[in-house]
Amino acid sequence: MVDRNVESPTCGRKTALVTGSGIGGIGGSLATELNNAGYFVFCAVRRTSAIDNLLQPGMVAVELDVQSTESVMAAVKTVSEMTNGRLDVLVNNAGFATHRPALDLDVDVVVASMFDVNVLGVMRMVKAFSDLLISAKGCIVNIGSVAPIVPLVYSSAYNATKAALHAYGDSLHMELKPLGLA
């Protein structure tokens, strides 16, 4: 859900959406930096009330859960309406990690959820926002980790999700480059 009383992007202003734009994290910092660079920023979080006091002019909170296709599609509708069907930058930042020995992990709950957020959530976002990104000849930024290269102990599931994200990003780049996306 979006507060329609906030500033809308102007014709010449670039737009960005950052998932996981919560307080004190990478997403919140990226959203602020993009806004400071002149972008109109959609700060995508699961609960907009958590960041209402952090929003600056040129930023709007959008309720979004990357684990829900319905939620992602609602965000696409909101962004499309506010930008005339364009999005310049998609930053896939939402994610989480758990640090436990591999043999102690609950594969069906914890690991499945981590893959759903860290990998499938990115895939949902890319697929859903692709038309808006193609219209703007935009770019996709997936926040990864050094974990696939320098594995962290007690983080086997997290390491695996980031390795999958890295492989997806490499393939995605080759597929989307002919469409004008970076």
CATH number at residue 172: 3.40.50.720
Residues designated catalytic: 158, 162
pLDDT in tens, the chain (182 residues): 555 445 555 557 899 999 999 878 899 999 999 999 999 999 999 998 888 878 999 999 999 999 999 999 999 999 999 999 999 999 999 999 999 999 999 999 999 999 999 999 999 999 999 999 999 999 999 999 998 889 889 999 999 999 999 999 999 999 999 999 98
Looking at the domain assignment, is residue 89 inside a domain?
A: yes
Looking at the domain assignment, is residue 1 inside a domain?
A: no
CA distance 11 to 62: 20
Contacting residues for 64 by C-beta, under 8 A, at least 6 apart: 19, 44, 45, 46, 71, 72, 74, 75
Domain that holds residue 38: 15-179
